[in-house]
Every structure is written in C-alpha cells, then in structure tokens.
A and B are shown apart, each in its own frame.
Chain A
Amino acid sequence: AMDTDLSSQDRKDLDKFIKFFALKTVQVIVQARLGEKICTRSSSSPTGSDWFNLAIKDIPEVTHEAKKALAGQLPAVGRSMCVEISLKTSEGDSMELEIWCLEMNEKCDKEIKVSYTVYNRLSLLLKSLLAITRVTPAYRLSRKQGHEYVILYRIYFGEVQLSGLGEGFQTVRVGTVGTPVGTITLSCAYRINLAFMSTRQFERTPPIMGIIIDHFVDRPYPSSSPMHPCNYRAGEDNGAVYPSVEDSQEVCTTSFSTSPPSQCVFTVTKAHFQTPPPVVMDTLKVPVMGLAFSHQLSSSRLSYQPAALGVGSADMGYPLLFAGGLNAAHPHQLIGPGKDGGVPPIPSQPAHGTQADQERMCTPLDGVHYSAATPSSSEDTETVSNSSEGKCGSPHDLLETIFIRKVGAFVNKPINQVTMANLDIPFAMFAPKNVELEDNDPMVNPPDSPEIESPLQGSLHSEGSSGSSTGNTQDDFVMIDFKPAFSKDDILPMDLGTFYREFQNPPQLSSLSIDIGAQSMAEDLDSLPEKLAVHEKNVKEFDAFVETLQ
C-alpha cells in the first residue's frame, strides 16, 4: 500500500484510532453479553478523551485480553480481530453463538481526512455496534444467563473461523469505514439454529414428572481454557491487578477533546426479563465485575460491605469485585478505578462475609457452602441493586459475591432439613413424607373456614370435618387473614379466600411421590420400548384419527 500520501502524523493518528477502535469494539461486544443493562452518562463538557466521543466503559480484564490477543498488532488484511461469543451449559457443553469480526481489506480511500472523517465514522460505527449487539439472538440469551448456562467470550487475532457456528449461520454487517490504508469492516456471523431454541429452551419449565435431574456436577472451572465468562473471570488471574486506564501516551489527542480520561459511571439494574432464582455455579473463587452483576447473583448470596473507599471524586466508577474466596487464605485486592489513572488498591474485606450472610449459610465444609435459596432471603439482598437502580451513578458499595454449590433446583430448606439430600430431584420437597390416608385428605375433609361469610357456606363442608385450617399438616405455608381483593360475590356461596384455603392442598399426584413414583417410573421406562412399538404399528389409525379432527 502506498502510504507516502499519508503524512506521518496522520498515519500515527490513524493507527491509534484503529487500535482504540478495536479495543472499544471488544468492550461493547463483551459488555453487551454480560447479561445486564448498560447505562452510561452523557457529558456535555469534554471531560473527553472518551474515545470517539462515546461513553464506553473499559473493563480492565477485557482490555487486557484484547491487548494480549492483538499483541501490538493492528487489524490488517488477513489479520482480523475476532470476538467469539459462546454459551456453556452447566453440564459443560459449549456452543459457539457468534463471531464478531473486525477486518481490514485492501480498498483504500486516499482522499478521506483521517483526523476528522475517519474518526467520526468510527464513532458512528461504534454506535451501530451498540445497536446491533442488542438484536442478534445471543443478546436475549445472555440476559437470561446465570442459572443453566453462562456466556463466554474469547478474543483471537488472525484468520476468522466460522466453522463452529453450525450450518446456515447468518451474517449481519455492522458497517465499514474507509481509510487511506484500507477499509475497516465490522460484522457478525451468528448461529441461527439457536434462535428457535433460545429463550424457551433455557427458561425454567417445571418437569412433568420430576424425571429431570438438575444438579450441577462439581466441575472445576476450566482455567486452562482461553474462554472467559462474560460475567466472571476464571480464577487463574485472581488477585491480578489490571491498570484501569490507558497509559498516559495513549490518551486520545484529537483536536476534538483535550482533557484526561473521564470515568463513565455504570448502574447496575435488575434484568428486566423474568429470571429464575439463581443457583450458582462454581466452587472456585472468581472475581465478579460490578457491571456483570446479574440479577440472579444479586438476589441470592451477597454480603454487603459498604465502605468508604476514599478514592476521591464523586463519580468514581463502579468497583470491581473479587469474590470472597471459599479458601481464602489471603485478602484480595479490590480495585476501584481512580480518576487520574492511578489504581489505588483498596484493602480488602474478609472473605467470609458479614453477619447477614452467616445466617443464611452453613459453616463451610470442604470449602463448599449450601445455601437456602428461598424467596425471602432474596428480598434482603436486593438492596444494592435497588439503590442504584434507574440511576447512572453507582453507590460506593462494595459487593462481594461468594460462589457456592447448588443443591437441587427447588430445594428451599436449609441443608440439614433436606431429607432427600441424595436425590437432586426438583420438587423433592413437595413429595409427601408418608402416604396419606384418605381421612387426612383435605379434599375429602376440608377444614372449617374460620370466616363464615354466608349462611350457605356451612353446607359445603363435608360431615367429617372438624379441625381448623391451621392444623393442617400439609401446610408448608400458612395463610393468615387471607383477604383476596374483589373476592366478595353474592352469587357464589363461598368467597375466594375460603375456596383458596380449602383447596390449597390438593393431594399429591401419586407419580410425584418419591417411593411410589420412582418405582412406577422405573416400570414406565422399562415398558417404553414396547409401547413405542405398539404405537408405531398403529400409526395409520392415529393418522386417520387426526384427519377426523381437522
């Protein structure tokens, strides 16, 4: 390429622009897959060297990874920067979802002005990237991550490899910017056969027969893999300190902006989509980013240690978090981005959390905690998200997340009360402890309602009933003073509250009863091949039947 036409200053500027464009591209992509809503503040005064006049936060680890992959090079023909986004399930299966490619081709635009037009077009391209990262299928998946799968990213430099995306992947072009040394193109290739699986597959649907075993294998996080989670980092770099601001020589020095880097402020907001209560992931200590702080994690097991960080300015960026290690032998470095590029290390907090946490967790045995994932406990811990919700401005709170191993999906009793501890079967707690006799069956003998709303009510109770509703041993939840809204109805002899109380505890389905259910289940499974054979034989009849329905 003839770059004699390009002044050396322009060339230097262009290289810098491309380098920072690459770094910002990675930040936008990874941040869009963290599973959280992003929010940065506009700033009218050029506190500027926000590159490309956009408030895009730099997550230090991500910058570190990107620089590592680039190794001092810039995207060029045949040397593309790729950000691979993949999904990894709790069982360890992983699948590539997207490859974002920043490529350079040979088509040069000699006439274009580097410091002005190229810069502004790169800014426009980043805005397009912000928009496009929300419309590929992986976005919605990443918003729901945390429970059954996580989203990982990997940066590599060189040849683009799309083979992992499966057949029929689609490509969307984000945009191109011509420069005197070549044309920068940014695009995304994404797997499509996931699009139909997407949200439905990974939403929590209750199993019909409790067959689904939903426990996590105690699998250490593969620290040797180059993959990185979009919402937490592998443990091998624990304690490493990353510079949170670019080297001083790399401050953006275009004619548009002059001042030192500003800090963008992030807010942590609850994920909008309905997400199931969290049950996490891994026994390794892993640092968690404030940004990546999903609703799931925030609502289950946190210890809050609001601390005056004493870093200085009011709009200090969000704090980085390091998990209190389960095997923490040494305190962890906590880093808050400083205003002027320094990285003041903040004395860490003890690993095992505050008083509040002790109540919810049992003493660790072998470094493993069991936790009650009750809805009530989740309310307490939402205070941090609430305090920053809806605002761009993070409180000076330190958040520490402790990762613990899950014990069965819907177990909502502390570990010492779970009698079915060996069976990680969802809904185990709903299985009746003993087989019920008909006399105790509230459906047959509904308890008296304490509130008689209408004279006709008494006649609905069967003759044998005599107890009070609170004596019902089936009650895991006792309803007190249940006054349903709008429930008064003169037409029905019974009000809604009474109805609800009476029919609140229907008998267990026999198939859900563990003892009987497991047996019959085994029988059912054994007889399946025969049944299938029979059905196959009768296929024509079934088809004919279906025809009659249409």
Chain B
Amino acid sequence: PRRTHHRALPAASPAMNCRAEVLEVSVEGRQVEEAMLAVLHTVLLHRSTGKFHYKKEGTYSIGTVGTQDVDCDFIDFAYVRVSSEELDRALRKAVGEFKDALRNSGSDGMGQISLEFYQKKKSRWPFSDECIPWELWTIKVNVVNLANEQERQICREKVGEKLCEKIINIVEVMNRHEYLPKMPTQSEVDNVFDTSLKDVQPYLYKISYQITDSLGTSVTTTMRRLIKDTLAL
C-alpha cells in the first residue's frame, strides 16, 4: 500500500464562493497531454467570452468566439475547443510541463493539475492585490503502464469513454449556473477577465500542478509552478 501525500496549493485555499470540482483519470503516459487538454479546453470553452469592447454610457459589445474540433491521436476521442491559438499554446505549455514533471518524478506516475478561476481585488498600498478564487477544477492523473499492444488498444477506447463521462460532468457543473463574477465595468475588466489574448477573453485563470510522491511523508519531487496568463503586477 502506497502512502500519498498531497500538499494543498496555497492558491487554492477556498474562499467563500469558490466551488471545487475534482476529476480523476487513469491514462497511459502518452495520453496524458491529450486527456488534460481535452478537459481544460472544455472548461475554458465555457469560461471564455468574446472580447469586450466598451462604448460610451457603460455599454459594451462582445466579440465572437469560434470553435473547432480536435481529434486525439492516442485516445479514441474528440473534443471542441475555443478557436484561439494563443489560448491553445498556453494550455499546451502548461500541460507539457505537467507531463514532463510526471515523467521525471519516477515510476509513480501520479499527480494532479489544477485550473483555478479567480478575481483580483485591488488593495490599497502597501498591500498587494488579492487573488480570490471562485472556481477550482482539479484533475487527478494516474499514469498506467501497459504491457502490450492489445492492452493499449483497449486503453484507447476506455480512456475515450471515460473522457466522454468527464465532459458530461463538466457540462453538468456549468449548467448549475452558480456564482459567476459580475460583468465588470471597463475599469474593472482586468480584475475579472484575461484581456491579454487577441481573439477571446477567458476569465482570469491560473494553472498549477503537483506530483505525488509515493514515499509519503515529504513530497520530494513536488514542483509547483504558477503559470500566469495575466500581467504580473
């Protein structure tokens, strides 16, 4: 029996309105990236709007979000993502680092990647701005090793089916229409949305991950990186 030690991420300390969702998947090593991208993109599809263009008198218009189908190479699965190369690149970067960390951590192959949506709350000097999370998605990953091609083929299909279930779960959560930040005024928009992308506007988000060490007491190979997509203040 393995002891696993999860250290809570400081950024994920639940604030009052932060809901947390946890998804778990077991995948083969080469499926990690696609599985993570499928989940993250599906969440961000629901958490991105078109670019806001503020006009006089406090009204604003919203740009258009395009979507595209993505086929997975190592999983019998396809998903829809927002048509934004910048966003895709950011996610791929994060997922790539997670995958490398998983691989370098040794044979254990367990870890989790988190996608956190937050709002910024400006504080007076000398205090720095607070980041208040309002939704946290955690994907726990267990990497399996397979012995032969037949098992791999079955894994392709099984993981595909599992991901279908995850998508349905994500959509269920989205449909609850629970707390969403208020639509901001022009001066507040950067506290709610990531306005750095040129074609879409996701809510402010951070991606972090950690690797679980099998030895338990101390997490020897935990790496924690915060990948910020907003302007660092």
Binding site for B on A (CB under 8 A): 37-48, 50, 53-55, 116, 121, 124-125, 127-128, 130-132, 134-136, 139-140, 143, 172-177, 199, 255-258, 262, 264, 272-273, 392
Contact = CB atoms under 8 A, between A and B. Distances in A.
A47 B61 CA distance: 10
B112 to A, nearest CB: 22
A175 B60 contact: no
B80 A40 contact: no
Contact of A131 (B65, B170, B198, B199): B170
Contact of B68 (A40, A116, A127, A199): A40
B61 A256 contact: yes
23 contacts: A37-B68, A38-B68, A40-B68, A42-B66, A46-B63, A47-B64, A48-B61, A53-B50, A54-B65, A54-B66, A55-B65, A55-B66, A127-B45, A128-B46, A128-B174, A131-B170, A134-B69, A134-B78, A139-B78, A175-B174, A258-B61, A272-B78, A392-B66
Given A41-B83, A134-B80, A256-B60, A55 B67 contact: yes
A392 B68 contact: yes
Contact of B67 (A54, A116, A172, A177): A54
Query: What are the 4 A-B residue pairs with the smallest beta carbon separation, nearest first?
Result: A272-B71, A175-B175, A135-B164, A40-B66
B45 A131 contact: yes
B62 A256 contact: yes
B170 to A, nearest CB: 7
A148 to B, nearest CB: 19
B59 interface: yes
B177 interface: yes
B157 to A, nearest CB: 9
A176 B175 contact: yes
B64 A121 contact: no
Contacts of A42: 50, 63-66, 82-84, 199-200
Contacts of B168: 132, 135, 172
B50 A46 contact: yes
Output the residue of A139, A143, A256 with the most chain B CB within 10 A. A256
B83 to A, nearest CB: 5
A38 B199 contact: no
Interface residues of B, number: 40
B64 A43 contact: yes
Contacts of A172: 168
Interface in B43-63: 45-46, 49-51, 53, 59-63
Contacts of A173: 172, 175
Interface in B1-51: 42, 45-46, 49-51
Given A128-B174, A132-B168, A256-B61, A43 B78 contact: no
B131 interface: no
Nearest to B61: A46
Contact of B53 (A45, A134, A140): A45
Interface string B128-167: 0000000000000000000000000000000000011001
A392 B66 CA distance: 10
B101 to A, nearest CB: 28
Given A39-B68, A40-B67, A135-B168, A53 B80 contact: no
Contacts of B68: 37-40, 392
Output the residue of A40, A264, A392 with the most chain B CB within 10 A. A40
Given A46-B50, A173-B175, A54 B45 contact: no
Given A42-B200, A53-B49, A174-B171, A131 B80 contact: yes
A527 B76 CA distance: 42
Contacts of B163: 135
Nearest to B68: A39
Contact of A37 (B45, B63, B65, B71): B71
Contacts of A43: 50, 63-64, 66, 199
Nearest to B201: A44
Given A127-B45, A127-B46, A140-B76, A44 B63 contact: yes
Nearest to A40: B66
Nearest to A116: B183
B171 A175 contact: yes
Nearest to B199: A42
B57 to A, nearest CB: 10
Contact of A44 (B82, B175, B183, B198): B198
Output the residue of A43, A172, A258 with the most chain B CB within 10 A. A43
Nearest to B69: A37
Contacts of A124: 46, 174-175, 177
A508 B45 CA distance: 55
A255 B52 CA distance: 12
A54 B64 contact: yes
Nearest to B168: A172
Contacts of B183: 116
A414 to B, nearest CB: 35
B63 A41 contact: no
B71 A264 contact: no
Output the residue of A53, A131, A134 with the most chain B CB within 10 A. A131
Given A53-B49, A135-B164, A257 B61 contact: yes
B82 to A, nearest CB: 7
B7 to A, nearest CB: 32
A38 B175 contact: no
Nearest to A134: B78
A208 B65 CA distance: 50
Contacts of B45: 127, 130-131
A344 to B, nearest CB: 24
